[in-house]
């Protein structure tokens, strides 16, 4: 199937473009971007112009920041094309519901992707936890924003999510592997004095069966990056590390994939399945947890953030 990629930034260049190129399901037929392009692929700077010129393109993958994504997605659906959404699927829960409703009405597929759910050992962790009594679950997600989001000023603006941009990856795993839904009960948010979104967060969750569930997110990590989830049960302890690429159960390690390894190919495999069957996949639980943390979180002003030396 011919697919268009909209928003040629870091994540598109690092993940989407090579994955599409290596897939037997997809042909990258066009891009839309104000600043980026892919060599050998027809490039547009206007979404409407692409949709009008390329009626042969059935699917559009949106890699834009979350705030402008709704308008592009709705324009795509109105043009009768299927939509794939980078995470998070939008800037608000309500607009995501509106997109799903529009897709259903038009008989089109829409997919809110959560790439970390497709890390190598997430499915195995879900199976292992399914019949266990959970006592506690802790998330530690710490990385260097300068390394992973260079020049992306939008993440510090309203709707950009700040540290929840990577933190939502952890929550997409948690909501996938836990057999019971959780919700936010308390949050402490560190917000740089020159930013609108947090650079650090500490969150507590309610678990319906009494387990202690918490998360720590931080974008100020230097050196080794930390993407870990530890679940303590009555039958042992499970630990996911490297963003879900590695699993340990009571010290026995399984998995040798690199972080992000295989995640995006599985997203595009899933999108191909949805389009072939006319399906919709719009799980908004990770985004709900983030928006609730932002809604009830107590904000603490911290030092201003600057990407380069001042």
pLDDT tens-digit profile, the chain (310 residues)? 999 999 999 999 999 999 999 999 999 999 999 989 999 999 999 999 999 999 999 999 999 999 999 999 999 999 999 999 999 999 999 999 999 999 999 999 999 999 999 999 999 999 999 989 999 999 999 999 999 999 899 999 999 999 999 999 999 999 999 999 999 999 999 999 999 999 999 999 999 999 999 999 999 999 999 999 999 999 999 999 999 999 999 999 998 877 777 999 999 999 999 999 999 999 999 999 999 999 999 999 999 999 887 6
Domain with CATH 3.40.50.720 in the chain: 2-112
- Architecture of the CATH domain 117-260+291-302: 2-Layer Sandwich (3.30)
Domain 2-112 of CATH type 3.40.50.720? yes
Sheet holding 212-218, edge to edge: 252-254, 246-249, 236-241, 226-233, 134-142, 212-218, 200-206, 183-192, 298-302
Per-residue confidence (pLDDT) for residue 293, from 0 to 100: 98
Two tokens at 20?
Answer: 């599409």
The residues with which 184 forms a beta bridge, in sequence order, are: 205
87 is a catalytic site residue: yes
**Helix/strand/coil percent split, the chain, to 5:** 35, 30, 35
Extract the runs of DSSP E, i.e. beta strands, from the chain: 2-6, 27-32, 42-44, 59-62, 82-85, 110-112, 134-142, 183-192, 200-206, 212-218, 226-233, 236-241, 246-249, 252-254, 298-302
Find out whether 76 and 60 touch, Cβ atoms under 8 Å.
yes
Active-site pick, 2, 78, 87, 239: 87
Please report, for residues 20, 163, 199, 209, the alpha-carbon distance to residue 171 in angstroms, rounded to integers and kept in the order given: 26, 12, 17, 19
Please report, for residues 42, 221, 241, the alpha-carbon distance to residue 198 in angstroms, rounded to integers and kept in the order given: 38, 14, 24
**pTM for the full predicted model:** 0.96
Domain with CATH 3.30.360.10 in the chain: 117-260+291-302
């Amino acid at each position: 199937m011919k697919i268009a990629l909209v928003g040629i930034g870091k994540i598109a260049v690092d993940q989407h473009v090579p994955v599409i190129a290596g897939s037997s399901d997809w042909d990258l037929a066009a891009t839309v971007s104000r600043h980026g392009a892919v060599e050998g692929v027809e490039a547009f700077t206007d979404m409407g112009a692409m949709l009008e010129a390329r009626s042969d393109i059935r699917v559009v993958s949106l890699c834009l920041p979350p705030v402008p994504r709704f308008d592009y997605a709705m324009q795509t659906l109105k043009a009768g094309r299927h939509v794939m959404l980078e995470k998070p699927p939008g800037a608000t829960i309500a607009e995501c519901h509106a997109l799903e409703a529009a897709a259903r009405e038009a008989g089109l597929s829409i997919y809110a992707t959560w790439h970390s759910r497709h890390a190598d050992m997430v499915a195995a962790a879900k199976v292992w936890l399914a019949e266990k009594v959970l006592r506690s679950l802790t998330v530690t997600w710490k990385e260097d924003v300068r390394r992973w989001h260079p020049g992306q000023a939008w993440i510090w603006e309203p709707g950009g999510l700040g540290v929840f941009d990577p933190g939502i990856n952890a929550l997409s795993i948690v909501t996938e592997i836990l057999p019971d839904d959780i919700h936010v009960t308390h949050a402490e948010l560190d917000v740089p004095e020159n930013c609108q979104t947090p650079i650090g967060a500490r969150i507590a969750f309610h678990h319906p069966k009494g387990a202690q569930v918490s998360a720590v997110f931080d974008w100020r990590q230097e050196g080794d990056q930390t993407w870990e989830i530890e679940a303590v049960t009555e039958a042992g302890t499970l630990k996911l590390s490297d963003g879900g690429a590695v699993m340990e159960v009571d010290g026995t390690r399984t998995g040798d994939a690199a972080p992000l390894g295989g995640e995006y190919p599985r997203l595009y495999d899933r999108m191909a399945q949805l389009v072939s069957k006319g399906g919709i996949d719009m799980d908004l639980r990770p985004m709900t947890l983030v928006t609730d943390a932002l809604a009830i979180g107590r904000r603490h002003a911290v030092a201003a953030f600057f990407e380069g030396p001042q």
